[in-house]
Structure 1
Amino acid sequence: MKGYRHLLDLDIILMVILGAFCTAFLIETYSFNPTAALFPRLVSIISLILILWTITGRCWILVRKTQDVSQPSEEVSARPEGSMVWYISLVTMVSYYLLTYILGFTLVTFIYLLALPPFLGYKKYKIVFITGILWTAGFVYVFKYILYARVPEGLTGIFFRWLTSRL
């Protein structure tokens, strides 16, 4: 079992599970109309390719790490695995998802894009602010006007509708 220890890595296990979901979704698209199935198939195939790439890269790193224990690892991380950053990142993602429906997609996306880069150590606040505005505007534009998807408005949308009705 020593030689196969790298297969028990949590990242690889999660990628295999994600790959199984992508494969199931790809198989499900064959029951769709050919036009309607085009985009889901494209997303599934690209996801499977990227998952295989990730698994291969992770196995390669782990095999090299087990073969060459004396030399320093090529995978350098600023913080040790299992540090609080991972948990805080998970909490911010779950909070983003929940607050999107409460406060609205636009406001929460903007706050998330402003708060996360400095938290991860990025110090150029002017670039973070400009990037946050541009990405938020881009997301809203793509979802509303290109994909014609309804964006959760939340309390922000209710406030702006109330404000515009008063003007």
Structure 2
Amino acid sequence: EHEVESVGAEDALEETRSRRKPVRRQYKIQEVIKRRQILLVQVVKEERGNKGAALTTYLSLAGRYSVLMPNTARGGGISRKITNAQDRKRLKEVVTDLDVPQGMGVILRTAGESRTKAEIKRDYEYLMRLWENVRSLTLQSTAPALVYEEGSLIKRSVRDLYNK
């Protein structure tokens, strides 16, 4: 006979749920990119069938022991596959000593786990020179233009397996 009605409990619960994760707004491509705007992009996935290639503006240049991310402000770090705490600590110091410029990031690859500071630094410096070449080529070229192409699958495989 006397029913207890809960008023607003669901609303409060719903509100806390929605407050936890920020709303990701879906943008139309026309709102983000304007006609004739020049962008430096990297192909993430080749085109397949009737689908075009997948592109990103978060560039990454892979070296033997590290990956340089020229326009990613989130510093970088060490590969998750490197689980040994001592190695991670040592490599964290190596990354800190690299003095990565503001607005760039570096990730140490698993292949760099047992490498010396000098070897990792040499790889990083190579990637920085490569990035400078990409930048200067970009400024000299007229869009659309290919400014850098990573080595073939065979070359990449040799690079990755050479040190195992």
- Same fold per TM (> 0.5)? no
More strand by share: 2
TM norm structure 1: 0.28
More helix by share: 1
TM norm structure 2: 0.28
